[in-house]
A and B are shown apart, each in its own frame.
Chain A
Amino acid sequence: MKLLVVEDEALLRHHLYTRLGEQGHVVDAVANAEEALYRVDEYHHDLAVIDLGLPGISGLDLIRQLRSRDKTFPILILTARGNWQDKVEGLASGADDYVVKPFQFEELEARLNALLRRSSGFIQSTIEAGPLLLDMNRKQALIDGTSMGLTAYEYRILEYLMRHHQQVVPKERLIEQLYPDDEERDPNVIEVLVGRLRRKLESCNGFKPIETVRGQGYLFTERCR
């Protein structure tokens, strides 16, 4: 998933960038609201973590501006005060959940995952599509109970396609899921990865849930639940 982290404290920003990256997310970590607004206009994000105590444009104003720009991704706020005034204002202005500083990364991760699941319409931490079962906690794909042995990148692509089942996902979006914006991107890599993924899925009774929509991207045709 591509996440936006807006935190002015460099060390904490770096910590979130590293830890979330380790969890398989592609992280856009910025220090202020202006940069965050630029990033959301340029890239597609699946979730944002926003500190309320930002310098300049406050975290609350940033959330309002994001919502006014029709950005519907879930927003998790980080608050230092932790009082209900801040929480209510943050949630009323468009955030979906909050974490009070200092926090344990596991708590933040649990809340992030819950928001991501919710935003793609899944309450459980597993997604089922025919014989395929995706365990988002273990970052594992199973067919008929047997692990598919996916690489980290293959898993990310499969999870993204399954979360957005019945929707055409552009190739560029999938690239964003794999690489941070400042890394060199090669569109052919996606084709190679999707090809490998298809082969692994087909190896099980010819299961073909991924279709190519010419000139637009990929479509996960199987209904997920």
Chain B
Amino acid sequence: MFFRTLAILSFVLFSSLLLAQEKTWKVPNVEIKDLKNTSVSASEIYNTEGPTILSFWATWCKPCILELNTIKDYYVDWQDETNVKLIAISIDDTRNIAKVGPLARGKGWEYDIYIDANSDLRRALNVNNVPHTFLLDKNGNIVWQHNGYAPGDEDELYQKVVEVSEMSSN
């Protein structure tokens, strides 16, 4: 039973990988909140001037904070070179919501911060774990995504950002 189910699920996994090729899709119309607790539709927050990095994180997620802290050091340069904007979406719930803004500003992050308190957007984008990063072009199409973070991953992310920014300027 165990191995049969394992085999079936692996089959589902790998067939889904095959299906996952070359598609453009957008962030769905799901309500999230800004730091003033005002509802905003997630489909409208992307940067129309250049690429958008949409990063799912949480105050209790160490690799997430490591990733956002690392990018902080490069952010000004990245913005100058590609017009990229980073939008950090916290999946913290009621327990930690009040800490989201203070933690972000207290770490000196200048990103746009939103809160997805009941993980509605997270589920709509099939994010099974944080950190999870999406890259959007200036038309809001999701062109790349990445799950997890290990130091050095920001190099690959920036390479993709440059590709997207060159693609959009053509």
Bind each other: no
Residues of A whose CB lies within 8 Å of any CB of B are none
